[in-house]
Structure 1
Amino acid sequence: MKEILTAINGISVHRNFVENLPYNPKLKPLLNEKRKAGILSEVIFWKQVRAKTFHNIDFDRQRIIGNYIVDFYVKTLGLVIEIDGWSHETKEIDDEVRQKYLESLGLKIFRITDFDVRNNLSVVMKDLENFIIEHYKY
Structure 2
Amino acid sequence: MVVSESALRDIPGLEGGVFPAQCPSRTLLDHVTSKWGVLVLLALGSETMRWSELRRCIEGISEKMLAQTLKTLEADGLVRRVAQPVVPPHVEYNLTEAGREVHGHLLPLMRWVGTNADRIISAR
Same fold, TM-score > 0.5, yes or no: no
Report the TM-score when normalising by structure 1: 0.23
Q: Larger relative CO (CA 8 A, sep 6+): 1 or 2?
A: 1
The two structures have a TM-score, normalised by structure 2, of: 0.25
Q: Which has the larger radius of gyration?
A: 2
